[in-house]
Amino acid sequence: MTGLRGRPLRGRFIHAPERGRIEALDDAILLTGADGAIEVLARPDDAAHADLAGRPDLVTLSAHRLVLPGFVDLHVHAPQYPQLGQALDVPLEVWLHKYTFPLEARYADLDFARSRYEVLVADLLASGTTTALYFATVHREASELLARICLDKGQRALVGKVAMDDPLACPANCRDASPEAAIAQTRAFIGAVRALPGNDRVLPVVTPRFIPSCTDAALAGLGALAAECGCHVQTHCSESDWAHGHALARYGMTDTAALDGFGLLTRRTVLAHSVFLTEADMATIVGRGTGIAHCALSNVYFGNAVFPLRRALERGLHVGLGTDVSGGPSASMFEACRSTVQVSRLLEEGVDPTDSRETRGTPDTRVDMLTAFHLATAGGGVALDLPIGLFRPGYQFDAMIVDPEAAGGSIRLFGETEPVAVLEKILYTASRPNIAAVYVSGERVVSTE
């Protein structure tokens, strides 16, 4: 792979260190080290700038191009990519059995798995997603194959073999044989991913699908395994009325409280959806440093309500964005940013025109596009506890080069140069042809020229 390790890159860099605010570094020079981390980010008035500008191997971007951090997608069901844009006509609990478990069962076949996973990982990289937190399937071998494909294609990835062992909730062809098998297969998967030759960017994840799919013995064993191996953890939490109600009926407590009791809420846990969190749940999550994958588009179909994103951010939860392929019918994090803003506006304004203006909405709940961008990049990095999503020394150089003038692209600038204006136009209107190149750890993983 060609790349920028050891070679200075000069141009306009835009990133979002905090919500609601971006930082534009114009005519800056960034140098990536041999390990893929940013070594120097020099502004024009920094002493290092003149030195780097004089180097013969300097790469200079054309004036209209700019560099953004790569997206961090905190929730992708890799095996569901073949049904993206399909099967959204029924509620979650029907959708799982009617469409999704039968599709996921097919990943016992490694040829089937390879042909689907290769397309997905290539498409996500070409869409600017440099890091993805993946659910694979119950199958250990196919899950290892996904990890290998991410490594081969250069994507930073966190991959989970899904644990789902409750015979009352999971079909026989898509189920761990027992709680012990769920734990043993997860343990073997962790070892195999960590041992992949040359693995500098793919991490294994302890992945109980969600409480309704798992026995208590599996949940407790996976919590203990997460503590033992120090892995990331991911699961679904309070996604819909049905899923939220399941835990209340089974344990007399919320799924957040139950997951905490099983040792599954850690600093390296990401909870998908979490639409119906109580104040006490939020306090628990903040106390554990656990992250949330906000899946705005998917929640339109399965969530039954809008996640109160701004309230969660004000309480101090670590939130990033997820596409939730295929519950969300788009694999693009640009779309995730757009739907995050849009659903927050619906929450603030309300949706029932027969209700009065005074009671229709939920005041002070909207977020802006710059906040969505922050969450899709730096916010994802914080949730994962990884040095990604920002242009800062010590952070990995994971980035996309955006070309607003790309032939076939959909961004139309009419002389704007001011960074907020340019960035908002990019976030609202970009499409894949506007992404000229993608880098992970300073290595080029996508190039359109």
What is the binding site for ligand GUN (CB under 6 A)? Answer: 77, 92, 96, 100, 209-210, 236, 239, 298, 302, 324, 327
CB 429 within 8 A of CB 411: yes
Distance between CA atoms of residues 391 and 410, nearest Å: 26
Size of the site for Fe ion (CB under 5 A): 2
Query: Binding to Fe ion by residue 324, rule CB under 5 A?
Result: yes
- Write each residue from 256 to 275 as x if it is in contact with Fe ion (CB under 5 A), else as -, in one continuous string: ----------------x---
Task: Establish whether the linkage from the previous residue to 326 is cis, with ω within 30° of 0.
Answer: yes
Give me the least distance between CB of 246 and ligand GUN, in Å please.
10
At closest approach, how far in Å is the CB of 97 from ligand GUN? 11
Number of residue whose CB is nearest Fe ion: 324
For the CB of residue 211, give the shortest distance to ligand GUN in the complex, in Å.
Answer: 9
Q: Output the residue with the shortest Cβ distance to ligand GUN.
A: 327
Burial class (CB in 10 A: 0-12, 13-18, 19+), 304: middle
From the list ligand GUN, Fe ion, none, which binds 302 (C-beta under 5 to 8 Å, kind-based)? ligand GUN
Residue 390 CB, nearest approach to ligand GUN (Å): 29
- Of 236 and 268, nearer to ligand GUN (C-beta) is 236
Query: CA–CA distance from 97 to each of 90, 102, 170, 221, 429 (Å)?
Result: 11, 7, 8, 26, 36
Q: Which is nearer to Fe ion, 145 or 162 (CB)?
A: 162
Look at residue 239 and give the partner it binds from ligand GUN, Fe ion, none, a contact being a CB closer than 5 to 8 Å depending on partner kind. Answer: ligand GUN
Residue 155 contact, options ligand GUN, Fe ion, none, Cβ 5-8 Å cut-off depending on partner type:
none
Minimum distance, C-beta of residue 50 to ligand GUN, in the bound complex (Å): 52
Lookup: tokens for 434: 């506007």
Judged by CB under 5 A, the stretch of 82-90, 97-105, 316-324, 432-440 that binds Fe ion is 316-324
For ligand GUN, the closer CB: 271 or 390: 271
Binding site for Fe ion (CB under 5 A): 272, 324
